[in-house]
Amino acid sequence: MPPFRSYEHLLRLAALFAVGAVLFLGLRSVLVPSDYGRLGPYRAGALAANQARPIVYAGQAACVDCHSDVADIRKANAHARISCETCHGPLAGHAMDPAVAAVRPDPRAVCAVCHLPSAAKPRDFKTVNFTEHAGDAACTTCHAAHAPKL
């Protein structure tokens, strides 16, 4: 058996393999984001992207910061635990800049959101047939908005 001399075949193969490896590593470094895999099999930057959303609801603490007088009125009644923005709607804009006016909620519709009768509501939840109870009158005719118990 003649000695193996055709080294150029092997060299050609090795060169092809090296080109392939360089191409793979080059493409990979371009295509895979730099922060991929830092925290797990995902882009770590996606956490910051999810956190970056602007806030729409300011949160109860921000409301009470300025409106502590209303918070004091509400302290003693059944609505004490309800957040301001449940009835008043999202007010982060107003909290950032008080010049942005907050819209006053409709004094009947806002009560109806919760207090209309429904069999699916818990037994101890207070409901009322609005028309039988008060005709077309606004709830605030008799009930104070922030201390509704008469």
Partner 1 sequence: MPFDRRAFLQQTGKLLVLTAPAAAAWDYLIAGEAEKAPGYDAAAHWWAMIIDIERCIGCGRCVQACKAENGVSLEPHYFRTWVERYQIDPDDPEHPQVDSPNGGYDGFPTATKAGVKTFFVPKLCNQCADSPCVQVCPVGATFQTPDGVVLVDKDYCLGCRYCVQACPYGCRYINPETHTADKCTLCYHRITKGLQTACVEVCPTGARYLGDLKNPNDPIHEFLRTHKVQVLKPQMATHPKTFYNGLDGAVR
Binding residues for partner 1 (CB under 8 A)? 33, 36, 39-43, 46-47, 49-57, 59-60, 79, 81-83, 85-86, 89-90, 113-114, 116-122, 125
Please identify, using beta-carbon distances, which residue of 1 and 120 lies nearer to partner 1.
120
Measured distance CA(46)–CA(54) in Å, rounded: 16
Closest listed residue to residue 114, CA positions, set 77, 82, 75: 82
Closest listed residue to residue 60, CA positions, set 80, 44, 39: 80
As measured in angstroms, the least distance from the Cβ of 116 to partner 1 is 7
As measured in angstroms, the least distance from the Cβ of 54 to partner 1 is 8
Please identify, using beta-carbon distances, which residue of 12 and 38 lies nearer to partner 1.
38
Q: Structure tokens of 112?
A: 């109806």
C-beta separation of 56 from 92 below 8 A: yes
As measured in angstroms, the least distance from the Cβ of 56 to partner 1 is 5
Please identify, using beta-carbon distances, which residue of 51 and 141 lies nearer to partner 1.
51
As measured in angstroms, the least distance from the Cβ of 31 to partner 1 is 11
